[in-house]
């Protein structure tokens, strides 16, 4: 299976570990997103785990959604399922922790940003490269703005470049950075204080965080998903960016600059 879950109990607290199992880069295609969504729904329905960690197999977190499925034919099926995964995280009455090592790019970073806490190994590679493919990260825009980092959101999204984990921590985008090869210990250090808490009160508290902190986030995600599928996916530069990436050549963008004009549907 592309996604697995293992649970254990520590001092009476149930901890579930969800692992993306699609090496070498744990790319999120529609099948993998569907399985991840089903597992997240199962965790919510069981209502036992109070700590959930999400990580990738093979020392890689996730390199994003499948570029080969970023087409007008396939993306309308992939994107809503992926966004369902992000919203499903907020429906779990538990602390959800992203354990990040290796590549955490595009949809992989969006998946991490959907979690309550993000623990990152210092050698990890984080970024939102979608602009280089002629598109943008829908959830990433919503998530970064919800963290009140407007200027940094613009810089991170428009550059398409990778960011240093320690800089992202200083900016409040991720929560902790650990030394190379010490991610497991960092996760244990994160979890240990929670083990002294009431599992029931943890659940009630996280429900409030998710309701109050993610309510508008979920609504905005639906709006930007619609805009993305109707405006970006049909644009010739979006198809060109994907084709250029798969062919390993520089993209040849359309000559028209900008959108402002009589044909701009936004006006």
> Which residues does the annotation mark as catalytic?
110, 130
Interatomic CA distance for residues 117 and 115, integer angstroms:
6
Among residues 190, 212, 213, which one has the least CA distance to residue 52?
190
Q: How far is CA 14 from CA 46, 162, 190, 193, in A?
A: 11, 35, 15, 14
- Whole-angstrom CA distances from 256 to 72, 103, 241, 251 are 21, 34, 15, 15
Contact present, 118 and 174 (Cβ < 8 Å) = yes
Q: Tokens at residue 190, please?
A: 């994160």
DSSP 158-177: HH--EE-HHHHHHTTSSSEE
CA distances (Å), origin 125, targets 60, 63, 74, 129: 10, 9, 27, 11
């Amino acid at each position: 299976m592309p996604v697995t879950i293992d649970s254990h109990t520590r001092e009476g607290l149930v901890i579930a570990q969800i692992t993306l199992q699609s090496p070498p880069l744990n790319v999120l295609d529609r099948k993998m997103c569907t399985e991840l969504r089903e597992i997240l729904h199962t965790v919510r329905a069981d209502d036992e785990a109070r700590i959930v960690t999400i990580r990738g197999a093979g020392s890689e977190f996730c390199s994003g959604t499948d570029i080969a499925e970023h087409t007008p034919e396939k993306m309308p099926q992939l994107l809503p399922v992926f966004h369902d995964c992000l919203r499903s995280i907020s429906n779990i009455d538990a602390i959800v922790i992203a354990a990040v090592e290796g590549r955490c790019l595009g949809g992989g970073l969006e998946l991490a940003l959907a979690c309550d806490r993000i623990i990152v190994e210092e050698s990890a590679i984080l970024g939102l490269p979608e602009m280089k493919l002629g598109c943008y990260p829908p959830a990433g825009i919503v998530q970064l703005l919800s963290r009140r980092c407007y200027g940094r959101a613009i810089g991170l999204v428009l550059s398409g470049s990778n960011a240093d984990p320690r800089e992202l921590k200083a900016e409040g985008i991720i929560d902790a950075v650990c030394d190379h090869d010490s991610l497991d210990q960092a996760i244990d250090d994160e979890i240990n204080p929670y083990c002294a808490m009431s599992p029931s009160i943890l659940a009630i508290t996280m429900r409030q965080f998710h309701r109050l902190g993610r309510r508008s986030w979920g609504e905005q995600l639906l709006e930007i998903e619609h805009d993305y599928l109707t405006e970006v996916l049909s644009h010739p530069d979006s198809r060109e960016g994907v084709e250029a990436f798969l062919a390993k050549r520089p993209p040849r963008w359309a000559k028209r600059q900008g959108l402002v004009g009589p044909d701009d549907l936004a006006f």
